Amino acid sequence: MEFGFSLVHVSDLHFGGVADLYQIEALETVIPDIEPRVIVISGDISQRARHGELQRARAFVREAGRTAPVFIIPGNHDVQWWWRPFIPFGSAAKYRKYRQYFGHELAPTLEFPEAIITAANTSHGVAWGSLTPRLRDVAVKGHLPKGEIDRVRKIFREADESQTRILVMHHNLLRGELSKRMGLARWQQAQRRVVESGADIVLCGHDHQDGVDTLDGVVVACAGTLSGRSRGARAPLFYRIGFDNRGVHVEEYQWNATERMFRRADVHAFARRRVIHEEAVRSSIG
Ligand SMILES: [Fe+2]
């Protein structure tokens, strides 16, 4: 099927001890064949934000970048949360290493005639907004600050009518099927903010289990992990997501450990929240 616009979405590669280099190398091989317009990495590119991990991650990003631009954001594992916890205005230290390898922007925006992609940073390390009563949530849960979603809403509001609005965040917006966990503290507020932001689709990760669903008409694609840490012994996978005027098609590329390659598996198809009218597409692309 031919789509108007397509992207590759991967998450939680976790370069370091748990990375699966067979999967990484197969991914590097398959991306050029899929011909995405952009490759989205929704965080946790490293295991412990170590220099060596981030350097290998950067090599992956450069290789993928030979096919298409790479849109990358940090996850909780990429944040050095043990630096300056709880100290206001000390947050820059947490992101220093990530920025050294992937640039200053923690929530970038990338624009195409057919789509606008932006991010909300939910990975704040040990921060007041991410705290819950559970000790095990420390530095794992994220939160979606009002300032982040206000910026996203403005970007989407000012986008052309014909552009698909794609929001990328690290933490899972919906409850994990196996983990039973929400990625975000104050998740109901976060869900409402995302729905009101004008996003057509949300790309996230963190839960280490893949899942595609909708939230009040917004498609939410949660990529699993391409590492040895897949939840419930599920086959790792990444997504190719295609958009046409009326629909969103989320195709699974599932890891086959015997063949050591990714194979196209299920496709989840959704009607668009906003139908893109052909006249609008023609006028914006010229
Ligand atoms: Fe994570």
Residue type, 144: L
Percent of the chain with pLDDT strictly greater than 90: 75
Q: Compute CA distances 23 → 30, 72, 185, 190, 253, whole Å.
A: 10, 19, 31, 32, 11
Kindly tell me if the per-residue pLDDT of 129 is higher than 60.
yes
What does the DSSP assignment read for 218-251? EEEEE---SBTT-GGGPPPEEEEEEE-SSEEEEE
Q: Which of 10-24, 186-200, 231-245, 246-260 has the lowest mean pLDDT?
A: 231-245
Contact 42, 169 (CB under 8 A): yes
Write out the two tokens for 182: 């929400």
pLDDT in tens, 134-173: 656 655 789 999 999 999 999 999 999 999 999 999 999 9
Q: Which residues pair with 249 in a beta bridge?
A: 242, 269
Stronger pLDDT, 282 or 93, i.e. the higher one: 93
Collapsing DSSP to helix, strand or coil, 154 comes out as helix
Residue 46 CA to ligand 1 center (angstroms) comes to 10
Residue type, 257: A
The H or E element that residue 150 is part of is helix 146-158
Q: Where are the domains positioned within the chain?
A: 5-236+243-285
Residue 3 CA to ligand 1 center (angstroms) comes to 30
What per-residue confidence (pLDDT) applies to 116? 98
Residue 29 CA to ligand 1 center (angstroms) comes to 25
Count the helices and strands in the chain (H runs, E runs). 6, 12
Residue 137 CA to ligand 1 center (angstroms) comes to 11
Residue 132 CA to ligand 1 center (angstroms) comes to 16
Write out the two tokens for 247: 């629909």
Residue 204 CA to ligand 1 center (angstroms) comes to 10
Task: Please count the residues of the chain.
Answer: 286
Residue 142 CA to ligand 1 center (angstroms) comes to 9
pLDDT in tens, 72-93: 999 999 998 655 555 554 567 8
Residue 230 CA to ligand 1 center (angstroms) comes to 12
Eight-class DSSP state of 208: S
Nearest alpha carbon to residue 199 among 226, 169, 237, 224:
169
User: 66-102: buried (b, 16+ CB within 10 Å) or exposed (e) per residue?
Assistant: ebbbbbbbbbbbbbbbebbeeeeeebeebbebbeebb
1 band by pLDDT with thresholds 50, 70 and 90: very low
Percent of the chain with pLDDT strictly greater than 70: 87
Architecture of domain 5-236+243-285: 4-Layer Sandwich (3.60)
Residue 267 CA to ligand 1 center (angstroms) comes to 25
Three-state SS for 42-64 is: CCCCECCCCHHHHHHHHHHHHHH
pLDDT in tens, 28-49: 999 999 999 999 999 999 999 9
Instruction: State pTM to two decimals.
Output: 0.92
CA contacts within 13 A on the Cβ side of 218: 24
Residue 141 CA to ligand 1 center (angstroms) comes to 8
